[in-house]
Amino acid sequence: MIRIIRQNNQSVLQSILERSQFSFQEVNDLVGNIMEEVKTKGDQALYTYTKEFDQVVLSNMKISKEEINKAFELLSNNLIEDIKKAKENLIRYHKQQVPNPYTIGEKDRLLSQLVRPIERVGMYVPGGSAAYPSTVLMNAIPATLAGVEKLIMITPPQKDGIKASLLVAAELAGVDEIYTIGGAQGIAALTYGTESIPKVDKIVGPGNIYVSIAKQYASGLVGIDMVAGPSEILVLADEDANPAYIAADLMGQAEHDKLASAICITTSSTLAVKIKEELEQQIEKMPRKDIIKESLENYGAIIVVDSMEEGIDLVNILAPEHLELSLKNPDQYLGQIKHAGAIFLGEYTPEPVGDYFAGSNHTLPTSQTARFASPLGVYDFIKRTSLVRYTKKALVEDAPSIIRLAEEEGLFAHANAVRVRLEEDDK
Helix (H) or strand (E) holding 326: strand 322-326
Torsion angle of the four alpha carbons 266, 268, 270, 276, in this order, in degrees rounded to the nearest 10: 10
Whether 256 is a known active-site residue: answer: no
DSSP state letter for 378: G
DSSP state letter for 219: B
What does 247-289 look like in DSSP terms, one character per residue? HHHHHHHHTT-TT-EEEEEES-HHHHHHHHHHHHHHGGG-TTH
Helix, strand, or coil here: 119? coil
d(CA 347, CA 326): 5
- Which of 37, 232, 321, 351 is catalytic? The answer is 321
- Which of 94, 256, 322, 339 is catalytic? The answer is 322
d(CA 125, CA 133): 9
Rounded to whole angstroms, the maximal C-alpha distance in the chain is 91
d(CA 256, CA 32): 27
State CA 337 to chain mean position distance.
Answer: 21
**Dihedral (CA of 2, 6, 12, 14) sign:** positive
Compute the radius of gyration of the chain from its Cα atoms: 26
DSSP state letter for 95: G
Helix, strand, or coil here: 8? coil
d(CA 362, CA 365): 9
d(CA 215, CA 31): 10
Helix, strand, or coil here: 325? strand
Whether 52 is a known active-site residue: answer: no
Catalytic residue IDs? 321-322
